[in-house]
């Protein structure tokens, strides 16, 4: 089964891993009610960085088991992309999110599903290494908490898909080759963004969009 996609119609709160939870999607096409006795119809959903097992289908209301394969249980905003597939369509979560490439892999072969940010004051979790895309229809004043030692090496992509001057605040945590900075200000263009990596409890700026540079201050 090829991976298909829909979106969330309502926000999803965080919940304990493995527990059942009802979510509302725009379309249930490709999502099937499972028969765990025969093994037929078992489908998975991938939202942001969380893998969910479909437990039941009632129209566009889908009952799921959260946090499969060790993936982080986290809240999801309205409009988040929902990928639909079989178990074979999703690699083991640990391999999918690994920050290292094993022998024979290339970066071009890695999929980076986007985590959509659509609020006006989104908090980016330092513990979830992912590709974040700002979809907010106004300036989003994002925050990024201080990383912990357990999050060392996490890589966080933050890019804008709207023409607004978004900001990220991480007090004295941005290392960009000068004294540690507090605020990253995006130019008001789609495609503006930066790549951050946790190193020695601060965020090293690994890359900045070649056009429309993010300014650190």
**43, 29 contact by CB (below 8 A):** no
DSSP 27-82: --TT----BTTTTBT--EEEETTEEEEEEEEETTEEEEE-SGGGPPP--B-TT-EE
Angle formed at CA 46 by CA 45 and CA 52, multiple of 5 degrees: 55
For the chain, give the mean pLDDT.
Answer: 84
Per-residue pLDDT, averaged over 173-188, amounts to: 94
Q: Which of 31, 37, 90 is nearest to 62 (CA)?
A: 31
d(CA 203, CA 156): 9
d(CA 81, CA 114): 8
User: Which tens digit of pLDDT belongs to each residue from 126-178?
Assistant: 877 888 999 999 999 999 999 887 788 888 999 999 999 999 999 999 999 99
DSSP 123-144: EEPTT---EEEE--SS--EEEE
Q: No. of H helices and E strands in the chain?
A: 1, 16
Q: What are phi and psi of 137, to 5 degrees?
A: -85, 25
d(CA 84, CA 2): 8
Question: For residue 174, what are the β-bridge partners?
Answer: 181, 203
Q: What are phi and psi of 93, to 5 degrees?
A: -60, -40
Q: Tell me the HSE value of 74 on the side-chain side, using a 13 A CA sphere.
A: 22
Question: What are the distances in angstroms from CA 115 to CA 82, 112, 138, 197?
Answer: 10, 9, 18, 17
Write the CATH number of the domain with boundaries 110-216: 2.60.120
pLDDT top residue among 81 and 63: 63
Query: Given this model, what pLDDT does residue 91 score?
Result: 65
- Tokens encoding 134: 């700002």
- Tokens encoding 94: 């640990």
Most confident range, picked from 2-16, 97-111, 172-186, 198-212? 172-186
Domain positions in the chain are 4-90, 110-216
Question: For residue 155, what are the β-bridge partners?
Answer: 197
Per-residue pLDDT, averaged over 96-123, amounts to: 63
Most confident range, picked from 13-17, 74-78, 155-159? 155-159
């Amino acid at each position: 089964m090829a991976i298909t996609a829909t979106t969330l119609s309502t926000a999803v709160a965080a919940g304990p891993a493995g527990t059942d939870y009802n979510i509302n999607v725009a379309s249930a096409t490709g999502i099937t009610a499972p028969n765990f006795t025969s093994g037929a119809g078992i489908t998975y959903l991938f939202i942001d960085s969380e893998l969910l097992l479909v437990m039941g289908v009632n129209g566009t209301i889908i009952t799921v088991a959260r946090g499969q394969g060790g993936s982080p249980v986290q809240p999801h905003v309205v409009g988040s992309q929902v990928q639909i597939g079989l178990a074979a369509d999703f690699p083991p979560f640990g391999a999918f999110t690994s920050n290292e490439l094993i022998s024979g892999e290339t970066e071009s072969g890695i999929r980076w599903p986007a985590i959509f940010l659509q609020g006006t004051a989104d908090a980016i979790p330092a513990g979830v290494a992912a590709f974040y895309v700002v979809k907010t229809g106004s300036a989003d004043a994002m925050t990024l908490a201080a990383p912990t030692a357990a999050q060392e090496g996490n890589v966080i992509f933050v890019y804008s898909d709207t023409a607004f001057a978004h900001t990220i605040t991480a007090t004295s945590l941005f290392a960009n080759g000068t004294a540690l900075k507090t605020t990253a200000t995006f130019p008001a263009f789609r495609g503006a963004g930066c790549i951050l990596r946790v190193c020695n409890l601060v965020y090293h700026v690994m890359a900045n969009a070649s056009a429309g540079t993010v300014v650190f201050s």
